[in-house]
Amino acid sequence: MKLYVVRHGQTIFNTLNKVQGWADTPLTKKGEKDGQEAGKRLKNVAFDVAFSSDTSRAMHTAEYILAENIHEHTKLQITPEWREYFFGSFEGGSNDVMWGAVAKEFGVNKGTPDAIAAEVQDMTAIMNKIYEVDPEHLGENATRFWQRIDAALEKLLMTQKANANVLLVTHGQLIGNLAQHYGHFLGAERPKNGAVAVFNLDDNGLQVELFNDVNTVF
C-alpha cells in the first residue's frame, strides 16, 4: 500500500510561530495555495481512498488536493486518528517557549524542533519530554500517541487493498514521527506546509520512499 502523506497548508498560527497541535486555525491565502499546488503535483494519482485529520486546516487542504485530481473523485473521510500530537497547555502559546524548554532539558543549544530531532534522534523521548515540561501535564505522552498511530496504521492494513493508493492529509510533527519512528529515517525534519511524503505500508511495516517533497509531479 502506498501512502501519499501531505502536511496541511500554512495557517495563521504557523505565521505567528504558535504551537498548533489539537488547536486549530484557518489556512492563510498561502495555505490555500499550498493545498492547490500539492493537488497539482498529485493530480495524476488515482487515489483509492482519502483521509484527513478532523482539523479544519487538514480537511480544507485535502479538499484543495482532491479538487485538482483528474480521476474520479474519492470521498474524503475525516478521522481524529490522524490528528497532530497534542501539546497540552503549550497549545496556542509560543513555539520558542515550548521548544526552548525542551532543548534546555536535552542540553541542545538551538530551541527548534529540527535541531532537537537531529540531536536527540528519538521522537519517543522528545514527546515524553514535552509532556514532562508541560506544567499542567495535559498533553499526550509518547505511549498514548503511538497507541493511536499504531491503531490507525493497523486499521489501514485491515481495510485497504495491498496495492491501494491512499491520500492522507495530516500534520508536521506527526509526519516526522512516522518517518523517524517507523521508517527509521533519522533525518526527518519537520516537513514544509503542503509537502508530500510517500510511505510504503505492508505487514512488514512502514518504509520511507520520499520525504518533505515540494517539487515532484507524481
In a domain, residue 211? The reply is no
Q: What is the pLDDT of residue 187?
A: 63
In a domain, residue 122? The reply is no
Q: What is the pLDDT of residue 84?
A: 97
User: How many angstroms separate the CA atoms of 147 and 154, rounded?
Assistant: 11
In a domain, residue 193? The reply is yes
Whichever domain contains 184, its CATH number is: 3.40.50.1240
Divide the 218 residues of the chain into consecutive groups of 10 and give the mean pLDDT of each group. 98 97 97 98 97 98 97 91 97 96 95 89 93 95 96 97 97 93 78 97 94 96
Counted domains in the chain: 1
In a domain, residue 42? The reply is no
**43-102 tens-digit pLDDT:** 999 999 999 999 999 999 999 999 999 998 789 999 999 999 999 999 999 999 999 999
- In 3D space, the residue among 136, 144, 126, 7 whose CA is nearest the CA of residue 62 turns out to be 7
In a domain, residue 130? The reply is no
Q: What is the pLDDT of residue 179?
A: 92
* Residue with the three cell numbers 492522507: 168
DSSP per position, 121-154: --HHHHHHHHHHH-TT--S--HHHHHHHHHHHHH
- The pTM of this model reads 0.95
* Residues spanned by the domain of 151: 2-30+51-93+140-199
Q: What is the pLDDT of residue 61?
A: 98
Q: What is the pLDDT of residue 183?
A: 83
In a domain, residue 166? The reply is yes
Q: What is the pLDDT of residue 56?
A: 98
User: How many angstroms separate the CA atoms of 180 and 116, rounded?
Assistant: 13
In a domain, residue 13? The reply is yes
In a domain, residue 40? The reply is no
Q: What is the pLDDT of residue 188?
A: 61
